[in-house]
Chain A
């Protein structure tokens, strides 16, 4: 039986390597057919922001990879509302990330779900495996 895996992303996309290497685990893990969710809290919400430009910093811009997660059947991205608000961000500042539901004629559905802090806590509590980056 599949286990519930939750990847918690807490760090900004650049400055440290945690976000990039977390994404590498998520992509490899997708092959194991587990029940995968991603959570974005604290500075981790910056990982999903639209219009990232790393040219000046000389780093690899990997932000487009999040848009491809739907192709790996990873379509549960939970973003903590309070973390967005504390940073002056709204859903409009994030990339639009969707997945195609093959059970509904490949209808495009949003992958990002806004959840409150209390709801995030119960989401974490309901998992079998939590990997925090």
Chain B
């Protein structure tokens, strides 16, 4: 089955990103396909490369990046939600006169249309959030 995944909460405060990651990984291992993973609301905070969680804890950003590499996943961070929360790629940083970009490898920033497109194209759109 072709699935779309929506992650609406940031890492650590809420479990949503952990559950979404585990669901996505399990679905891929069972042979399902993922059209796209879309990060919205505080979910965009999963896509910063600057998190430094304690070494004995999981690193959610790294887990997503590795999963994306292995399965060529499309990890999309909503641009409007990202701008509010300080998640920028090089182009966005330049456009808004900021001195750094922090988007993590394997993630890309794009518009909300990508979420609607996932709803249209995926057979099931699965949302993780509160």
Q: Is the CB of B125 within 8 A of A28?
A: no
Select the stretch in A29-37, A48-56, A86-94, A98-106 that faces chain B. A29-37
Q: How far is the CA of A17 from the CA of B129 in the complex (A)?
A: 13
Residues of A contacting B: mostly: mixed
Taking the complex as formed, is A131 at the interface, i.e. its CB lies under 8 A from any CB of chain B? yes
The distance from the CB of B48 to the nearest CB of chain A, in whole angstroms, is: 18
Distance in angstroms between the alpha carbons of A27 and B111 in the assembled complex: 12
Contacts of B6 in A (CB 8 A): 131
Over the window 27-47 of chain B, the binary record of Cβ atoms lying under 8 Å from chain A Cβ atoms (1 yes, 0 no) is: 000000000000011000000
**Closest Cβ neighbor of A128 among chain B residues:** B119
- B116 in contact (CB, < 8 A): yes
Interface flags for A1-38 (1: CB within 8 Å of B; 0: not) read: 00101000000000001100100110011011010000
Whether A131 contacts B125 by the Cβ 8 Å rule is: yes
Q: Are B120 and A25 in contact (CB under 8 A)?
A: no
B112-A17 in contact (CB<8A):
no
Q: Is B5 an interface residue (CB 8 A)?
A: no
A132 an interface residue at 8 Å Cβ cutoff?
Answer: yes
Please determine whether B120 and A34 come into contact, CB atoms closer than 8 angstroms.
yes
* Most chain A C-beta atoms within 10 Å of own C-beta, residue among B113, B116, B117: B116
| Neighbour of A29 across the interface among B41, B116, B129, CB < 8 A | B116
A18 touches B127 (CB 8 A): no
Q: A3-B119, A5-B119, A131-B6 are in contact. Are A29 and B125 (CB under 8 A)?
A: no
* Chain A contact residues, CB within 8 Å of chain B: 3, 5, 17-18, 21, 24-25, 28-29, 31-32, 34, 128-133
